[in-house]
Amino acid sequence: DLVAAFGVDMPLLTPMDMVIQGVFALVSGLLMLVILYYVATRLFKGKQKIDLKGFMVLYFFVVSPGVLMAIPIVGFLAAIWILVLIFTMLMHVFNFTFWKTLGVVLVAGLAGGLIMGIVGSVLGIPGYSASFSYDAS
């Protein structure tokens, strides 16, 4: 009832919707890996200590706590931990300062979020076409 009072459109997801979201999340994660790597190397001119294959292995290790995101409060803490690990990884792999790493994370995050949000909305991925409105009456 509280969700409906705020006008949040949250239909129940079917098993097929969950599979579609899972596949889209996997593709989005791979896209984010590529965006992060190229923003760090091309845009911010990072001197990588490892090649793309080594970066992929390290990235997948860093984002592995993401499996905990299915658990409500633990998932939030896992997301924060992943962000800290990605930040630390970028600092060490590309020999960036704190501020340069912050720039890489912000630019890559905005680019990835925009791309995946637009693609998810256009393709009609469940959960990307939700709307929000508040009725004070």
Rounded to two decimals, the pTM is 0.75
Contacting residues for 122 by C-beta, under 8 A, at least 6 apart: none
Instruction: Evaluate the CA torsion angle 89, 128, 30, 42 in order and state its sign.
Output: negative
Percent of the chain with pLDDT over 70: 82
Tokens read off for 71: 């658990």
Distances (CA, A) of 121 to 8, 28, 41, 113: 17, 13, 29, 12
- pLDDT of 94-128, one tens digit each? 999 999 999 999 999 999 999 988 888 888 777 66
Torsion of CA 114, 115, 117, 121, to 10 degrees: 130
User: Phi, psi at residue 38, to the nearest 5°?
Assistant: -75, -30
DSSP 8-state secondary structure symbol assigned to residue 17: H
